[in-house]
């Protein structure tokens, strides 16, 4: 299940992200903003309960979120900035971290850090990483969460390759994928074409 977020603000910011001339400061701001906007779609079906609220002039019927406990889990490094953007509009979410990097030769994910909320198994979990390329990192992160008993997982990225969507769907068909774009293909080094380049390097200026 893949949802492409076509909202004009998301698509506008995605184009700025792709531009090779966009520098790290603006790149971080755009990724944070686009992530907040995408969370709007991701949380569209959260349950609500009816409450009454006293206004200065009377009693109004209102709706509040029905105790749906959420955790945001960024895949390090690039997912960190997405998590920050989502926390702007969902500040009560807990945050878990999964550190993975791709071995440049094998393209296999290497795990180097995991720190998750103790009650992660009770939460709806939103895994965030801007790039779904081969899908290896997303599958590894989700398998860590599954091993902790998490049942309810959504995966949010900014750009996918068709290969990554296929890998994630075949390993975990129950995980909903949200993205702003599905690009053409991977190149021989596992980079998404046309993509936006190396997300971590562009965010943190490491190359
Ligand atoms: C990038 C990206 C994803 C991964 C996607 O991270 O942020 O985590 O590659 O590729 P995959 O779908 O083929 O696994 P990278 O491994 O470069 O680590 P970094 O964020 O620390 O730079
Ligand atoms: N990781 C990135 O940062 N970019 C890609 O295109 C693929 C993997």
**Over residues 1-20, mean pLDDT:** 97
Q: 99 CA distance to ligand 2 centroid (A)?
A: 15
**Which residues surround ligand 2 with Cβ inside 6 Å?**
131, 133, 190-192, 195, 198-200
Buried/exposed 162-189: b ≥16 CB within 10 Å, e otherwise: ebbbebbeeebeebebbbbbbbeebeee
Q: What ligand 1 atom has the least distance to the C-alpha of 102?
A: 16
Distance 200 CA to ligand 1 centre (A): 8
Model confidence at 68: pLDDT above 90: no
- Enumerate residues 6+ apart whose C-beta is below 8 A from 162: 182, 183, 184, 185
Active site residue 102: yes
Q: Which of 66, 106, 151, 206 is catalytic?
A: 106
Residue 100 burial (C-beta neighbours within 10 Å; 0-12, 13-18, 19+): buried
Cβ of 133 closer than 6 Å to ligand 1, yes or no, is yes
User: Alpha helices of 43-182 — where are they, by DSSP H?
Assistant: 79-89, 136-147, 162-171
Domains, the chain, in order of start with CATH, read 2-45+69-204 (3.40.50.2020)
Q: What is the pLDDT of residues 75-120, one digit of tens each?
A: 999 999 999 999 999 999 999 999 999 999 999 999 999 999 999 9
pLDDT value, residue 91 = 92
Q: pTM of the full predicted structure? A: 0.96
Whether the CB-CB separation of 128 and 137 falls below 8 Å is answered with no
d(C-alpha 82, C-alpha 63), whole Å? 27
For the question of residue 106 being annotated catalytic, the response is: yes
Atom index in ligand 2 nearest the CA of residue 193 equals 6
The per-residue pLDDT for range 134-144, each reduced to its tens digit, is 999 999 999 99
Q: Which of 161, 142, 2, 165 is nearest to 73 (CA)?
A: 142
């Amino acid at each position: 299940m893949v949802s492409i977020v076509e909202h004009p603000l998301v698509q506008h910011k995605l184009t700025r992200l792709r531009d090779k001339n966009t520098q790290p400061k603006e790149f971080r701001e755009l990724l944070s903003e686009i992530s907040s906007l995408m969370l709007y779609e991701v949380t569209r079906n959260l349950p609500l309960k009816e409450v009454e609220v006293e206004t200065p002039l009377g009693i109004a019927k209102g709706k509040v979120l029905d105790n749906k406990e959420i955790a945001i889990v960024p895949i390090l490094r690039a997912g960190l900035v997405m998590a920050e953007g989502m926390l702007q509009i969902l500040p009560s979410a807990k945050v878990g971290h999964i550190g993975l990097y791709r071995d440049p030769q094998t393209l296999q994910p290497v795990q180097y850090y995991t720190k998750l909320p103790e009650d992660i198994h009770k939460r709806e979990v939103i895994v965030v990483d801007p790039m779904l390329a081969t899908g290896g990192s997303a599958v590894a992160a989700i398998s860590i969460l599954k091993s902790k008993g998490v049942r309810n997982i959504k995966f949010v990225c900014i750009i996918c390759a068709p290969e990554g969507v296929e890998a994630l769907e075949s390993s975990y068909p129950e995980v909903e994928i949200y993205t702003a774009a599905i690009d053409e293909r991977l190149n021989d080094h596992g980079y998404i074409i046309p993509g936006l380049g190396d997300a971590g390097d562009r965010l943190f200026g490491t190359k």
